[in-house]
Amino acid sequence: MSLYLAMIGKSYRKHLAYRSEVWVRIVIGVVWVAIQVAVWRALIGNGEVDGITLPDMITYAILNTVMALAMMDRSLAELDQKIRSGDIAVDLIRPFHYPLTLV
């Protein structure tokens, strides 16, 4: 178990190294929500469409963007690079569950 905790700690420290990327993602998320709100405000106005109101769509836009940003991770890009370089073979022979190291 301590091996997995060490891997989680290493991953956390690695992501902290990319602070500017985190801030850029946050800014992009805010801009994306603003664009979605403007589009839905133009489409729905103050009324509703099939029982869906503008506040419902704003809530959906915010939650959707937060979930997308939370799920967007560098893990897939790192996995792709390891497969291309062949480094995945070294990771697969190590004595721990490789998919958990991607978390």
Average pLDDT for the chain: 79
6-12, long-range: CB within 8 Å, 24+ apart, which pairs?
A: 7/96, 7/100, 7/101, 7/103, 8/103, 11/101, 11/103
Residue with the larger pLDDT of the pair 51 and 74: 51
Q: Which two tokens stand for residue 52?
A: 């869906």
Phi-psi region of 51 (alpha: psi -120 to 50; beta: other; left: phi over 0): left
Q: Would you list the domain boundaries of the chain?
A: 25-95
User: pLDDT (tens digit, 9 = 90+) per residue, 76-88?
Assistant: 777 778 888 888 8
pLDDT tens across 7-30, in order?
667 766 766 666 777 778 788 889
The residues that bridge with 48 in the sheet, in sequence order, are: 53
Q: Is the pTM of the predicted complex or chain greater than 0.85?
A: no
User: Are the CB atoms for 92 and 98 separated by under 8 Å?
Assistant: yes
Residue 57 has pLDDT above 80, yes or no: yes
Is residue 8 classed as helix, strand or coil in its secondary structure? helix
